[in-house]
């Protein structure tokens, strides 16, 4: 198995954002403004996310992972979750 850039870039992750639990602290926006924004309702929004059963989901690549991890780790109410390709929760 190659550990070059090509194999890393093919790995996918899923971000799951529980908007209902969001308190609007905007820590995710501060950590990663390219992927998060504050909505008019005072809660954060996952850019390019699709709604699935009341949560917002987005598939991301290995290259995007660190920015999303920063956002998730800064969230005071832990409503941003990241799963690997096997469905194992990373955050």
Residues 6+ apart with CB under 8 A from 24: 38, 42, 43, 44
Structural domains in the chain (count): 1
Q: Distance between terminal CA atoms of the chain?
A: 26
Q: Which of the residue ranges 8-17, 45-54, 62-71, 81-90 would you say has the lowest mean pLDDT? A: 8-17
Q: Is residue 5 part of a domain?
A: no
For residue 53, what is the DSSP state?
A: T
pTM of the model: 0.88
- Contact present, 80 and 15 (Cβ < 8 Å): yes
Please write the tens of the pLDDT for every residue from 18-35. 999 999 999 999 999 999
pLDDT at position 8 over 50: no
pLDDT at position 57 over 70: yes
CA-to-CA distance for 63 and 14, rounded, in angstroms? Answer: 13
More confident residue, 69 or 2: 69
Residues 6+ apart with CB under 8 A from 3: none
Q: Is residue 33 part of a domain?
A: yes
- CATH number of the domain within which 55 lies: 3.30.70.20
């Amino acid at each position: 198995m190659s550990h070059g850039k090509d194999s890393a870039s093919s790995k996918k992750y899923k971000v799951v954002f529980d908007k209902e639990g969001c308190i609007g602290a905007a820590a995710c926006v501060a950590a990663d403004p390219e992927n998060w924004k504050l909505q008019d309702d005072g809660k954060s929004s996952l850019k390019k996310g699709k709604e699935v059963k009341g949560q917002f989901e987005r598939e991301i690549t290995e290259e995007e992972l660190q920015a999303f991890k920063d956002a998730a780790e800064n969230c005071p109410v832990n409503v941003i979750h990241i799963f690997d390709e096997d469905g194992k929760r990373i955050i």
